[in-house]
Each structure stands twice: as structure tokens, then as C-alpha cells.
């Protein structure tokens, strides 16, 4: 059986990752494709506990502890969920993945990007998505959307310049890996963005 495609959604808080990931999941399912939706951090039994440590703003952890918890969550997630589905030919849609670690812990928190990439290589053999949808939008728009729904985890309470570093970090990664990234203007209406993503994904599936 052919291996499935691994698609990740990336972008700042409020850029529309969860909205678009779920819409893509629904559209593919409706067309009869085998597809699964998952997210980081926390979409395994062990991961739920790790997510609480990572996102609860009452629990203080150091940047290095944070980095290693993301890797711990991902180790469990890849083995328990992502790889088993890819191996039986499912399309796997994942809300955030390694690029998030590179931009949040690397570009924004200041941990060495080489260290993060070396860990990724040693631990996961550079396991990366086939396609990464980057939903790009100005920080004030993304944060403004989330403010409306009063979402306040450890990252949402970070300051403007932190999120600017995240946004710029993503754009830098996209420039470096143009073959993997599909960058979209996330300020466009939801349906327009969804249509572009769907067309892109179908063109990849049909080219296999």
C-alpha cells in the first residue's frame, strides 16, 4: 500500500490553523479519502499531560524544559499516531509540528536553531511533512481574532515582538524550504483560503 501524505498547518496564534486543518479534513473525507486530523502538543494519552505542562501559564518551566517537552510529546505522537496512519495510506493532517518548535523555541525564545535541528535529526531521523501550509498574517490580526474568543495560554500572553519573531521565523523557514511550504495570505476569507488549500492538496494526491 502506498504511504499516505503528511500535511502540517503552521502560523501564528489566530492565523486559522485549526479552522483550515479541520475544513481540509472534512473536504477530503467527503471525497472518500482516508484522512485523519491530529495536533500538537497533546494528541495522545501521554501528550495530554505534557500539553498541560506546556500551555498552562501558571506552571513555570525553563525554555530548555519547554523544548524537551515538545520533543517528548512529538516522540509519542509520531509513533502512536502519525506513522501508523501514514503506513496504511492515510493522509495525516497535523495542526503544528516541528516548524513550530523551530520558530517558537528557536527564533522567538532564542534557543539554538542548530540544536533543535540536530535533535530532530538524531531523534526522528529528520522526519518532516510532505506539505506544510503556512497561514501568514500580521500579528495584530491573528491576536485580535483570538482576543475575541478570549484564548489565553502561555503563548497567547506573550508580547507583540515575540509573535513578530514567530511570524518572521516562519517566513524565513518557508524561504529556505520552498518545495515543502505553501504560504497563504491568512487575512483572506476562510472559504477562499480553504479552497486554495484543497486544490493544492488534491493536485499533490493526483500527482502520486
Ligand X SMILES: Nc1ncnc2c1ncn2[C@@H]1O[C@H](COP(=O)(O)OP(=O)(O)O)[C@@H](O)[C@H]1O
93: β partners? 7, 37
| 17 belongs to an annotated ligand binding site | yes
What gap in Å lies between CA 156 and CA 149, rounded to an integer? 12
Indicate which single residue of 7, 8, 19, 136 sits in contact with ligand X (rule: CB under 6 A): 19
Stretch that binds ligand X, among 7-15, 74-82, 112-120, 161-169 (CB under 6 A): 7-15
Indicate which single residue of 5, 7, 8, 13 sits in contact with ligand X (rule: CB under 6 A): 13
Stretch that binds ligand X, among 9-17, 46-54, 83-91, 159-167 (CB under 6 A): 9-17
CB 7 within 8 A of CB 201: yes
Count Cβ atoms within 10 A of the Cβ of residue 9 and give its class: 0-12 exposed, 13-18 middle, 19 or more buried: buried
Torsion of CA 36, 113, 105, 70, to 10 degrees: 40
11: β partners? 135
Indicate which single residue of 12, 18, 70, 175 sits in contact with Mg ion (rule: CB under 5 A): 18
Could you say which of ligand X, Mg ion, none residue 168 binds, taking C-beta under 5 to 8 angstroms by partner kind? none
Q: What is the closest distance, in whole angstroms, from the C-beta atom of residue 18 to Mg ion in the complex?
A: 3
| 165 belongs to an annotated ligand binding site | no
Residue 147 touches ligand X, criterion: CB under 6 A: no
Binding site for ligand X (CB under 6 A): 11, 13-19, 145-146, 149, 186, 189-190, 193
Q: Which residues are annotated as a binding site?
A: 11-18
Amino acid at each position: 500500500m502506498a504511504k499516505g501524505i503528511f500535511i502540517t498547518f503552521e502560523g501564528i496564534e489566530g492565523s486559522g490553523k485549526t479552522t483550515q486543518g479541520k475544513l481540509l479534513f472534512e473536504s477530503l473525507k467527503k471525497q472518500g479519502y482516508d484522512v485523519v486530523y491530529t495536533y500538537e502538543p497533546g494528541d495522545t494519552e501521554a501528550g495530554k499531560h505534557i500539553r498541560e505542562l506546556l500551555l498552562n501559564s501558571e506552571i513555570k518551566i525553563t525554555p530548555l524544559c519547554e523544548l524537551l517537552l515538545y520533543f517528548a510529546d512529538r516522540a509519542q505522537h509520531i509513533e502512536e499516531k502519525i506513522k501508523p496512519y501514514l503506513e496504511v495510506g492515510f493522509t495525516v493532517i497535523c495542526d503544528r509540528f516541528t516548524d513550530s518548535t523551530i520558530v517558537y523555541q528557536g527564533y522567538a525564545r532564542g534557543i539554538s536553531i542548530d540544536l533543535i535541528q540536530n535533535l530532530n535529526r538524531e531523534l526522528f531521523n529528520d522526519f518532516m511533512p510532505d506539505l506544510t501550509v503556512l497561514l501568514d498574517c500580521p500579528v495584530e490580526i491573528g491576536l485580535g481574532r483570538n482576543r475575541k474568543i478570549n484564548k489565553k495560554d502561555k503563548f497567547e500572553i506573550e508580547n507583540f515582538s515575540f509573535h513578530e519573531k514567530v511570524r518572521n521565523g516562519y517566513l524565513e523557514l518557508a524561504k529556505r524550504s520552498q518545495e515543502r511550504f505553501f504560504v497563504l495570505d491568512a487575512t483572506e476569507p476562510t472559504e477562499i483560503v480553504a479552497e486554495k488549500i484543497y486544490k493544492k492538496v488534491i493536485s499533490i494526491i493526483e500527482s502520486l
